[in-house]
Each structure stands twice: as C-alpha cells, then as structure tokens.
Amino acid sequence: FVATKNYDIFLQVLKESKKHSPDMPVIMMTGYGEESNYNDSMRFGASGFISKPFHIDEVIASVEKAFKSNKIP
C-alpha cells in the first residue's frame, strides 16, 4: 500500500479495522472533507463521516446513530 494523499492512510486503517472487526462502528473525523473522501469512507464501511469544523451535536448524533444501527449494548 502506498498512500497517495494523507487521507489514504486513514482509509487503510478503516479497511484493516473492518477486516478484523467487521461489526465495529467507525466514524471518520477529518479535515479532508472532499466528497470523494466521504464516498470512499462509506464504501469501505464507515458508520459515519464528520468533516471539520464540526459541532459537538453532530458528533453526538453520529455516535448515537452508530450505537443504534450496530445494536451495541
């Protein structure tokens, strides 16, 4: 794997995380808010995507959604 941009490293971590724990929710938080990053994150299994600058309510909503959709106790 060769990262062609900084965000590629985070996508690789996402892919490896999902490979080892496919049911684990992963919310991507980034300063690289391009649409392609969102699309790639969701395609590789992210539960959510938050781009900086973000509001705390957005973070809380994403975490709550991840817990509900993955049925985490």
Residues 6-44 pLDDT 10s? 778 888 999 999 999 988 899 998 887 788 889 999 999
- Write down the pTM of the prediction: 0.77
**What is the CA 56 to chain-centroid distance, rounded?**
16
Q: Is the peptide bond before 25 cis (omega within 30 degrees of 0)?
A: no
Pairwise CA distance, residues 22 & 17, whole Å: 7
Q: How confident is the model at residue 4 (pLDDT cuts 50, 70, 90)?
A: low
